[in-house]
Amino acid sequence: MRKAGETTFQIRFKRDFLLNKYLYLMMVPVLAYYFVFHYAPMYGALIAFKEYTPNKGILGSSWVGFQHFNDFFSSYYFWRILKNTVIISLYSLCFEFPAPIILAILINELTNKRFQRFVQTVTYMPYFISLIVIAGMIKDFTNNGGLINNFLTYFGFNDTAMLQKPELFRTIYILSEIWQKIGWESIIYLAALMGIDQEQYEAAKMDGANRIKQIWHITLPGILPTIAIMFILRMGNLLNVGFEKIILLYNPSTYDTADVISSFVYRKGLIEFGWSYSSAVGLFNSVINLALLIAANKISKRISENSLW
């Protein structure tokens, strides 16, 4: 019986190969890419458990077990970067996540189609500007005598170099993030909004529902599945704070509030060459993210029946 099973498998295997050999040929570069640039680094993450030195290579370096993890957990930096990462993530969850939803609903409520298009085009625009330019603008505008400072002095604030102030870093980070991404991220919600059955609004109007009530009872439930999916994806990236912007904006005087896990990995690994230690920190980050993603997916499945898998 078992033998027969194997042979049918072999037959199936051969037939499939004959039929699809060109497809498999096409897949070769794609798989090669994934193995070299995704799976090889995953294997390379083993150095987190070793004392890696470039001349010994990954295999030749000696095992140290969880030593790097222990060093990290007991170091002074651990709590600082964990706290910063979590706080920045939570801020962005509270302020950045709902912003595009609100924008999409507002755009949807506009009655003038031309104006609707104009608002959309303008709000997407910042997304295409590079991070370097954005960071340059932020630096310039928040500096002494910069645009934002000038604006705030009208309201009696002091003219200060804001990026030197640890207490302002997160605010600057989140606000500029919203400014850049709100239009872009609203696209997906707008697409969902277009899918809502217009008859529902007609019916609601008949029943005397005002606009606020329509939004609450029709619009929001209509885009809830999209919101749920976006929320799960977001949870999976909770600890992946956009470190590219952070390393452009922070400086030693704001490390206290600005340094996050990924910027720490970057600094320790690529500037101070602590390969193994830094990989351990990175691996810790990846594992937590994966766990959060799975958790968010489970919760969402239970509450709203929306899930990624």
Partner 1 sequence: MLVVVTLYPLLYVTFASFSDAGQLITHKGFLIKPLGFSIEAYKSVFNNPAILNGYKNTIFILFFGVITNLVVTALGAYVLSRKNVMWNRVFIFVVVLTMFFSGGLIPLYLVVKGVGLIDSLWATILPFAVNTFNLIIMRTAFMAVPESLEESAKMDGANHFVILFRIIIPLSMPVIAVMILYYAVEKWNGWFYASIFLKDRDLYPLQLTLREILIANNTDSMSSGANAAEQFQIGETIKYATIMVASVPILILYPFVQKYFVKGVMIGAVKG
- Binding residues for partner 1 restricted to 98-127, rule: CB under 8 A: 103, 106, 118-119, 121-126
d(CA 187, CA 118): 14
Q: Is 295 in the site for partner 1 (CB under 8 A)?
A: no
233 touches partner 1 (CB under 8 A): yes
How do strand 62-63 and strand 50-51 relate by DSSP bridges? Answer: antiparallel
Based on the shown chain and the rule CB under 8 A, indicate whether residue 203 belongs to the binding site for partner 1: no
Length of the chain: 309
Phi, psi of 157 (to 5 degrees): -80, 160
Q: How far apart are CA 278 and CA 280, in angstroms?
A: 5
Provide the H-helix boundaries in 36-130.
40-44, 57-60, 67-74, 76-91, 98-109, 113-124
Do the beta carbons of residue 257 and residue 166 sit within 8 Å?
A: yes
For partner 1, the binding residue among 10, 11, 31, 73 (CB under 8 A) is 31
Q: Find out whether 145 and 162 touch, Cβ atoms under 8 Å.
A: no
Q: Which of 94, 133, 220, 295 is in the footprint of partner 1 by CB under 8 A?
A: 133
| Residue 309 C-beta: closest distance to partner 1, Å | 9
**Site for partner 1 contains 255 (CB under 8 A):** no
Counts of helices then strands in the chain (DSSP H, E): 17, 2
Task: Tell me: does residue 260 bind partner 1 (CB under 8 A).
Answer: no
Q: Is 161 in the site for partner 1 (CB under 8 A)?
A: no
Least distance from partner 1 to the Cβ atom of residue 250, Å: 11
Binds partner 1 (CB under 8 A): choice among 23, 203, 224, 295:
23
Q: Footprint of partner 1 on residues 62-101 (CB under 8 A)?
A: none
Q: How far is the CB of 210 from partner 1 (least distance, A)?
A: 23
291 counts as binding partner 1 under rule CB under 8 A: no
